[in-house]
Amino acid sequence: MYDKTVRRRRAVLGLLVVSSLILLTVYFGESRGGALHSVQRGLLAVVSPIQEGASRALKPVTNLFGWVGDTVSAKGDLKDTRRERDAWRRQAIRNEAAVAENAQLRGLLGLDQSPKDLTPYRPVTARVNGQSPTLWYARIFIDKGTNDGIRDGMPVLGSDGTDEGTGLIGKVETAGSGFSVVTLITDASVEVTAINVQNTTSGVVAPKAGNPRDLILKYTSKDDKVAKGDTIVTAGTTSSRPDLDSPYPPDLPIGRVTRVDEPGSEAQQVHLKPFVDLRHVQFVQVLTKKVDHNRR
Amino acid sequence: MARISPKLLLRVALLGVLVVLLQISAVSQIYVFGTTADLTPLVVAAVGLLCGSMSGAVFGFAVGLFLDTALVQTMGLSSLVLTIVGYGAGRLRELRDPQAAIVPVLVGAVATAVWTVGFGLLNFLLGVDTPVSFLLLRQILSTIVLNALIALPVFALVRRWLGPFLPDDPRRRRRRAYTTGGLSPLSRA
């Protein structure tokens, strides 16, 4: 009797482990239109409304905990904030001069399609109603989908409510009829071609696992001048081939350079702090239309 | 293994769905000291401790599968790790039958450690091509500490939810031994 119980227990464990491994293998091997991916989409369509309801119902609880946490951390942040304010004041004075100069240059070049005006990209505003709990898969769930014109691969902008906290946060991974799953720029699967606003140095922005406030600008060369405080934005489409369109329009803000490791060498690594604190995003905008193939 | 009643099965299934939805919709958005709690390993470990290794493993597998599906992750990843968490917690009950009040805290901490580290290792094995920040280690440790802190109430809630339908609760069995004429350990001396 005892032997039978032990054998059965081991058989069940073995079966479950083997099933998991088979699922892993099949999922990894199949395309996005495969059977397991379809099952995921189907279940998401069922779960999404429940999840949205739960998110709304539990919002007061989430806000309460958020308020407590913010109050505790606010005291510590005050000193840093004062220092930052002084730095920003100096920066603002410099920016005023730059804005005036920029307006003149835009007028001269006929660049009146300012990327800050996102209307041509038909932005759709959506509410965040869920978040991935793991440190590896950075995903959020939003309450708009294909019914609102959202499709897979569309860029997503967000704001964390701070003055500078607006910018690119990711792209649509899967869109259902009334929901979408957004993969954030902190997910290992997302890479964005980007340029340095100060001198048009280009590279690819990729995440660093485990730290949502640190991104890496890869593929810069030793001759590229990148300095702390430089602003990194999306590069848009750089190729003339129609099949190599970038999903991201040009000049969407991504982050600011915080430090450069081994500057001036081939191994230089540029670290950015994203403009948006991805842990505090409640509303997002999905850009549902490409303008001029997202070229600059 | 004790026979599981349909009512218990229903309650366990409901618990699995609820915990995943609660985790995604609310708990993942509440940051305490820069990290979030993760209810899934705690609840899987609690079910393992209460129902045994086979039930724990099956529950872990099902919750992992649901989690992978709901989060559009690689399917089978969470299932594999949570199956081990549930099985391990169940084996602890079957081999040691621990009764100390601290047990849920320790089991919760170990379950969270296995879950976070195991999930990370599997990701590396699957070829996540990204540099790893030291902050990841701090995040993992913070999550373990936070989960250990909430393990006791989570375990109590799971036991309250499943308690009336559990086939064999060790605590109940021990209490019954004293009230039905069995010798108290004190009287043996």
pLDDT, one tens digit per residue, over A268-295 is: 889 998 888 887 788 888 999 888 878 7
Q: Which residue has the tokens 């940051």?
A: B31
Residue A108 corresponds to which amino acid? L
The pLDDT score that the predictor gives to residue A114 is: 41
Predicted structure pTM score: 0.73
| Whether residue A270 sits in one domain with residue A128 | yes
Asked which of A22, A38, A64 is the last residue of a domain, the reply is A64
| Whether residue A47 sits in one domain with residue A134 | no
| Whether residue A129 sits in one domain with residue A244 | yes
| Whether residue A57 sits in one domain with residue A190 | no
Residue A55 is encoded by which pair of tokens? Answer: 């998110």
Residue ranges of alpha helices (H) inside chain B are: 6-25, 39-51, 53-70, 77-96, 103-125, 134-162, 170-179, 185-188
The answer to whether A135 contacts B54, with C-beta atoms less than 8 Å apart, is no
| Whether residue A19 sits in one domain with residue A132 | no
Nearest-by-Cβ selection for B31 from A25, A27, A279:
A279
A8-23: average pLDDT? 91
The CATH number of the domain where A187 resides is what?
2.40.10.340
Per-chain mean pLDDT for chain B: 83
The answer to whether B24 contacts A181, with C-beta atoms less than 8 Å apart, is no
Mutate to test the interface with B, among A7, A12, A20 (most CBs of B within 10 A): A20
Give the whole-angstrom CA distance, residue B4 versus residue B189.
39
Give the whole-angstrom CA distance, residue A134 versus residue A145.
24
Could you list the residue range(s) of the whole structural domain that residue A27 is in? 2-64
Is B82 or A237 the better-scoring residue by pLDDT?
A: B82
Domain count, chain A: 2
Structure ipTM: 0.81
Q: Which residue of B has its CA nearest to A131?
A: B24
The answer to whether B57 contacts A47, with C-beta atoms less than 8 Å apart, is no
| Whether residue A39 sits in one domain with residue A118 | no
The pLDDT score that the predictor gives to residue B189 is: 43
Q: Is the pLDDT of residue A220 over 50?
A: yes
The pLDDT score that the predictor gives to residue B185 is: 53
Give the whole-angstrom CA distance, residue A39 versus residue B89.
30
The pLDDT score that the predictor gives to residue B2 is: 57
Residue at A59 is within a domain = yes
Pairs across A and B, CB distance < 8 A: 161
| Range scoring the smallest mean pLDDT among A113-122, B16-25, B64-73 | A113-122
Mutate to test the interface with A, among B25, B33, B84 (most CBs of A within 10 A): B25
| Whether residue A24 sits in one domain with residue A165 | no
Encode A9-22 in three state secondary structure: HHHHHHHHHHHHHH
| Whether residue A248 sits in one domain with residue A153 | yes
Residue B160 is encoded by which pair of tokens? Answer: 């309250």
The pLDDT score that the predictor gives to residue A29 is: 83
Residues of chain B in contact with residue A139, where contact means CB-CB under 8 angstroms, are 71-72
**Dihedral sign of CA atoms B29, B35, B41, B45 in order:** negative
Asked which of A48, A64, A80 is the last residue of a domain, the reply is A64
The answer to whether B39 and B154 are in contact (CB under 8 A) is: yes
Residue at A89 is within a domain = no
| Whether residue A289 sits in one domain with residue A197 | yes
Residue B109 corresponds to which amino acid? A
| Whether residue A280 sits in one domain with residue A193 | yes
| Whether residue A33 sits in one domain with residue A120 | no
Q: Quote the DSSP letter at residue A293.
A: G
The answer to whether A132 and B24 are in contact (CB under 8 A) is: yes
The minimum CA-CA distance between B155 and chain A, rounded to whole Å, is: 20
The answer to whether A235 and A202 are in contact (CB under 8 A) is: yes
Residue ranges of alpha helices (H) inside chain A are: 2-29, 35-57, 59-109
| Range scoring the smallest mean pLDDT among A123-137, A225-239, B67-81, B88-102 | A123-137
Nearest-by-Cβ selection for A13 from B57, B72, B120:
B57
Q: Which residue has the tokens 């227990």?
A: A9
| Whether residue A250 sits in one domain with residue A149 | yes
Give the whole-angstrom CA distance, residue A202 versus residue A196.
6
Residue at A275 is within a domain = yes
